[in-house]
Structure 1
Amino acid sequence: MARLTTTILLGTALLATAACSKKRPEVLPPAPGSETGTGSDTGQSADGAAPGSRGDFERSVTSTTVNFALDSYDIDARAREILDTQATWLARYPNVPISLEGHADERGTREYNLALGDRRANAAKNYLAGRGINPARISTISYGKERPIALGSDDASWAQNRRAVTIVLN
């Protein structure tokens, strides 16, 4: 009798497990990283960037980064070229918010570099606002010397770290 009960319980458990198993879909999705076309049917570019996205911004503008001279937050000719391409893209997508991050090199005090990073981010913001971009959609933050992209202690590294970076927030 115990043997019969065990067999019935075991059979019931197997049936329940089989009934709960997942059925294989008729059409499998593409493997991660595989390209299935140009993306034009989904509104995306060939590299997968949707219009108005961070990827679209990074692909469309000259650069996301504006560099500055030592102890300066002046927008030079090269910075104007970069910010002009950003302003063109931002005008095309008027509801996309951005953040401007101000950075400094490792020289100077923490407080000085935070203030300098803030002036750099605001200089870029004011330039974009002057090109017709609503300043309400532009937030600024200063990281001072806390987030260097070049870790050396030489002129080339310091030049890379004196920057304002535009980040699309969606």
Structure 2
Amino acid sequence: MGQRFLIRAGTVLAAAFLLVACGDDEPVVQATDTGASQAQPAPAPAPAVEAAPVPSGPAEGTQEHFVLNVGDRVFFATDRHDLDEDARNVLRRQAAYLGQYPNVSVIIEGHADERGTREYNLGLGDRRANSARDYLVSLGVSSSRIRTLSYGKERPVALGHNEAAWAQNRRAVTVLAN
């Protein structure tokens, strides 16, 4: 959940708590001319104003919304840049999402694991980003909306020196540009 959502939810809950706390039904004691006191019921509380519904989750068309509802990354085998069925499924969802938001452009970042030279991994990251780009274009996304960028092994998401970490770093990540 985003910080905004938590703040809004906390504010709504605090307001509801105050309304409940202030709306007790204890009688109010008022003095009369004669000095005797009489119990009278408290005035009815003002009707609660219905709060606007608080949206749940991130705003549509944002990177957060994209990641949660579509998925922003595809993964590759060692020294490969071809797309497997899981990668194509993610990219099909991305293409559908981009179809709903025609003003959104993307940058596809290509990444590699730590093994190999810097130059080799920059080239491999570039091939991975372009594989994802080419598939999105084949699905009808305009090539003018897609830029590619290779980070090679320079931005690992997992820092381990084992197959589990390397598998997470062999990826192409789609980032919404606007």
TM-score, normalization by structure 2: 0.71
Indicate the structure (1 or 2) with the bigger Cα radius of gyration.
2
Q: How does 1:67-146 map to 2 (within 5 A)?
A: 67-146=75-154
1:46 to 52, 56, 74: 56
Structure 1 regions of 5+ residues with no counterpart? 1-29, 40-44
What is the CA deviation profile of residues 29-50 of structure 1, one whole-angstrom value per residue up to 9, with x for unaligned ones?
x9972235544xxxxx41241x
Q: Would you say the 8 A contact 2:118–2:152 is kept in 1?
A: yes
Q: How does 1:51-62 map to 2 (within 5 A)?
A: 51-61=60-70
Aligned residues: 134
Q: Would you say the 8 A contact 1:102–1:142 is kept in 2?
A: yes
CA distance in structure 1 between the partners assigned to 2:74 and 2:58 by the alignment: 26
Q: Would you say the 8 A contact 2:57–2:65 is kept in 1?
A: no
CA distance in structure 1 between the partners assigned to 2:79 and 2:126 by the alignment: 12
Q: Would you say the 8 A contact 2:126–2:149 is kept in 1?
A: yes
What is the CA deviation profile of residues 103-137 of structure 1, one whole-angstrom value per residue up to 9, with x for unaligned ones?
00000000000000000000000000000000111
Whether 2:156 is the aligned partner of 1:156: answer: no
Where does residue 7 of structure 2 map in the other structure? Answer: 33
Give the SS at the match of 1:59: helix
Q: Would you say the 8 A contact 2:110–2:127 is kept in 1?
A: yes
Give the SS at the match of 2:7: coil
Q: Would you say the 8 A contact 2:104–2:176 is kept in 1?
A: yes
RMSD: 1.8
Give the SS at the match of 2:123: helix
Distance verdict in 2 for CA 1:169–1:38, change over 3 Å: farther
Where does residue 74 of structure 2 map in the other structure? Answer: 66
CA distance in structure 1 between the partners assigned to 2:5 and 2:107 by the alignment: 34
Give the SS at the match of 2:150: strand
Distance verdict in 2 for CA 1:38–1:115, change over 3 Å: farther
Give the aligned residue type for 1:106: E
